[in-house]
Amino acid sequence: MRQYEGRRFAPTEELWDRAVAHWRTLPSDVDAEFDRKVEIDVDRVAPHVTWGTSPEQVLPIDGVIPDPGAMAEPGKRMAAIAALDYMGLEPGRPIVGTPVDWVFIGSCTNSRISDLRAAAEIARGRRVAPSVRAWVVSGSEAIKRQAEAEGLARVFTDAGFEWREPGCSMCLAANGETIPAGQRSVSTSNRNFVGRQGPGARTHLASPAMAAAAAIAGHIADVRSLGA
C-alpha cells in the first residue's frame, strides 16, 4: 500500500495511517473456503498478441494462427472465419513476423507511467523501423509531465516515436486519428473490434513492451528476442 502514499488524492499524515489501518481489516476471513486456488508462474507465460477481432482471439507470440475448422463450437468457428478474413491472416502461419504499419502505445488501459517505462526500456538505444509509424499517447496530462521529467519522452522521440498529447486518440479513432483501411496496427488499447481504429483497420492488441518491440522490428515480434 505504501506505493500509493503521497499521491495527489491519497489521504495524508494521520488520515493515511487511519486509512491503512482500515484497509488491513478487509482481508478474507482466516477460515474462508475457496472453490479453487490457482497459482500461475508468470515467468513461464509467453507474451500474447491477438490475431482476430475480439480480445478473446489471442495466442502466445510463439503460436500459430488457429484453424477455424478445428473449432468445435459453431459460433466460435464462424467468428474465427470472419475475423481471419477481416484481418487478412491465414490459419497455420506463425503470428510472429506479421508485418505492421502502425504502433499505438496509449489508451486508458496501457499508458500509465509504469507502461511507458516498460516500453521505453525496449525503445532505448533503438530505432523504429522505417516502415512503421509509431505513436505514444500518455494516459493523462500528469503522466505526460512525469514521463517528460523522467526522460522517457526523449527516449521515445530519439527512437523515432511520435510523442503525442494525452487523449483517447487512436484507441477508438478519436479526433480523426485513424489507421488507414487495410493497414495493420499493434496497439496497447483494450479492444480490437472491426473498425475500432478506423474503417478497415486491422488491430493486434499487445502489451506496451510488445508494441515497442513491433515498432522496432517492423513486424509482430517476441519482445524476449530483444533481450527483454
Query: Cα–Cα distance between 88 and 182 in angstroms, integer?
Result: 9
Q: In terms of pTM, does the model score above 0.85?
A: yes
Q: Which DSSP string do the residues of 49-96 spell out, in sequence order?
A: EE-SSSTTSEEETTSB---GGG--SHHHHHHHHHHHHHHT--TTSBST
pLDDT at 145: 96
Say how far apart CA 151 and CA 214 lie, in whole Å. 22
The position carrying cell 530483444 is 226
Structural domain spans, the chain: 48-87, 102-226
Segments in 88-189 forming alpha helices (H) = 113-123, 141-149, 152-159
pLDDT per residue rounded down to tens, the chain (228 residues): 666 777 888 888 899 999 999 999 999 888 999 999 999 999 899 999 999 999 999 999 999 999 999 999 999 999 999 999 999 999 999 999 999 999 999 998 899 999 999 999 999 999 999 999 999 999 899 999 999 999 999 999 999 999 999 989 999 998 889 999 999 999 999 999 999 999 999 999 999 999 999 999 999 999 999 876
In angstroms, the CA 222 to CA 94 distance is 12
**Res 1: pLDDT:** 65
Residue 139: φ, ψ to 5°? -75, -15
Calpha distance 209→121 (Å, rounded) = 8
Q: Return the CATH class of domain 102-226.
A: alpha beta
CA distance 210 to 49: 8
Q: How far apart are CA 164 and CA 67, in angstroms?
A: 38
Give the model's pLDDT for residue 21.
Answer: 93
Whether 103 contacts 214, CB under 8 Å:
yes
Q: What is the rounded distance in angstroms from the CA atom of residue 97 to the CA atom of residue 114? A: 27
pLDDT value at position 8? 80
C-alpha cell at 129: 523501423
